[in-house]
Amino acid sequence: MSELKPIKIPEDYNYIAYFLTLACNLKCSFCINYFGTLGPAQKHLSGPQWVQGLNRITSRDDLPITLQGGEPSLHKDFIYILNNLKSELKIDILTNLQFDTDEFIRRVDPERIKRKSPYASIRVSYHPEVMELEPLVKNVLRFQDAGFSIGIWGVMHPVQADSILKAQERCKSLGIDFRTKEFLGEYNGRLYGTYRYEGACEKLSTKRVLCKTTELIMGSDGSIYRCHSDLYEGRAPVENILDPAFQIQEVFRLCDYFGHCNPCDVKLKTNRFQQFGHTSVEIKELTEEEMRRSG
Ligand code: SF4
Ligand code: SF4
């Protein structure tokens, strides 16, 4: 293979996400992965391929690579990847913690997954619908005792909000950082979440727009996508992390799927400086001239 050029992350980028797999060992009814139609199953790059691809990236201390999914630990080389990324790259993990935690604690140095940040580097999702709280709490305390930066997050889904708040109380009493997250998606015919662009997630129609992202979204086969919606729906990627010439281009790209955006891309949220009002993508209407030229 030709030499892979280093990839510089642009200053205004706020997130680097590597989806090791979209598969999960749980099945939550409100999982954001199923907001649209999940595209065909993707292939998976091996651990060594991922290490080669991700180690091209030059990022900042406050911008980690977030390993997520699905459930990232389902990748057979999950620990290999953690242990072989270059030390300059900070790592965050989003997980449901339903894996062999003994092996993880034995093989991973807690200092490797730690950085100066207002929130924990290992962020565990708690889903009362499919998980029991006490075994999870026990596991999180073991991670904490071993020196890991770990916390639990609960989604404030309308039917689970009470259980989440009770779980938060319990965790606080044990010294576990437990935070809540806004529920994004549909429930009982209502779309929950605060979005910057009207009609973006309603799935009622599609419109051609121009769209630019501030996130590096990588699927399990190394594909780079314009957004979460493209990733989950299996639309054509724009690049691949193993393409030797790949460089991030901060450009507006044509998209024919406005109206089917994923809430993660267009919701109003806090950026890495904890400032509210940020969205992952910027969307523009096409002028008549641009519309004509785009065919
Ligand atoms: S644990 Fe997370 S990824 Fe897995 S089904 Fe539940 S919400 Fe989806
Ligand atoms: S308009 Fe929506 S679907 Fe299209 S690229 Fe942007 S976020 Fe993705």
For residue 51, the CA-to-ligand 1 centroid distance in Å is 25
Atom number, ligand 1, closest to the C-alpha of residue 130: 6
Atom 8 in ligand 1: which residue has the minimum CA distance? Answer: 31
Give yes or no for residue 257 CB within 6 A of ligand 2: yes
Q: How far is the CA of 257 from the centre of ligand 2 (A)?
A: 6
- Evaluate: CB of 56 within 6 angstroms of ligand 1: no
Q: Is the CB of 231 under 6 A from ligand 2?
A: no
- What is the number of the ligand closest to the CA of 136? 1
Ligand 2 pocket mutation pick from 283, 284, 285 by most atoms within 8 angstroms of CB: 283
Residue 202 and residue 266 in contact, taking contact as beta carbons nearer than 8 Å: no
Give the integer Cα–Cα distance in Å for 25 and 29: 13
| Cβ of 122 below 6 Å from ligand 2 | no
Domains and CATH numbers, the chain: 9-192+214-244 (3.20.20.70)
The confidence score (pLDDT) of residue 56 equals: 97
- Answer yes or no: are the C-beta atoms of 81 and 266 closer than 8 Å: no
- 97 CA to centre of ligand 1 in angstroms: 11
- The per-residue DSSP string of 109-162 comes to -GGGG--S-SS-SEEEEE-TTT--HHHHHHHHHHHHHTT--EEEEEEE-TTTHH
Q: How far is C-alpha 234 from the chain's CA centre? A: 16
- Whether the predicted pLDDT of 48 surpasses 80: yes
User: Which ligand is located closest to the Cα atom of residue 266?
Assistant: 2
* Span between the terminal Cα atoms of the chain, in Å: 37
Q: What is the C-alpha separation between 164 and 161, in angstroms, rounded?
A: 5
Distance 33 CA to ligand 1 centre (A): 8
The amino acid occupying position 273 is F
In the block, which residue shows the tokens 């993508």?
281
- pLDDT exceeds cutoff 70 at 39: no
Phi, psi angle pair for 24, to nearest 5° = -145, 150
Residue 107 binned pLDDT confidence (cut-offs 50, 70, 90):
very high
Q: Which of 227, 256, 294 to mutate to test the pocket of ligand 2 (most atoms within 8 A of CB)?
A: 227
Task: Tell me which DSSP letter residue 279 carries.
Answer: -
Q: What residues contact 251, with CB distance under 8 A and at least 6 apart?
A: 212
Q: Which ligand is nearest to the CA of 281?
A: 2
Q: Which of 258, 260, 249 is nearest to 283 (CA)?
A: 258
Report the residue among 251, 257, 264 best suited for mutation to probe ligand 2: largest number of ligand atoms under 8 A from its CB.
257
Whether the CB of 31 sits within 6 Å of ligand 1: yes
Q: Is the CB of 283 under 6 A from ligand 2?
A: yes
Q: Give tens-digit pLDDT for 17-38.
A: 999 999 999 988 888 777 777 6
Q: Indicate the SS3 state at residue 180.
A: strand
pTM score, two decimals?
0.95
Predicted pLDDT at 174: 98
CA separation for the pair 161, 61 (Å, rounded):
34
| CB 280 less than 6 A from any atom of ligand 2 | no
Q: Which ligand is nearest to the CA of 184?
A: 1
Rounded average pLDDT over 54-72:
96
Taking only the tens place, the pLDDT of each residue in 170-215 is 999 999 999 999 999 889 989 999 999 999 999 999 999 999 999 9
- Tell me what percent of the residues of the chain surpass a pLDDT of 90: 84
CB 105 within 8 A of CB 143: yes
Q: Which ligand is nearest to the CA of 126?
A: 1
CA neighbours within 13 Å on the CB side: how many for 108?
Answer: 28
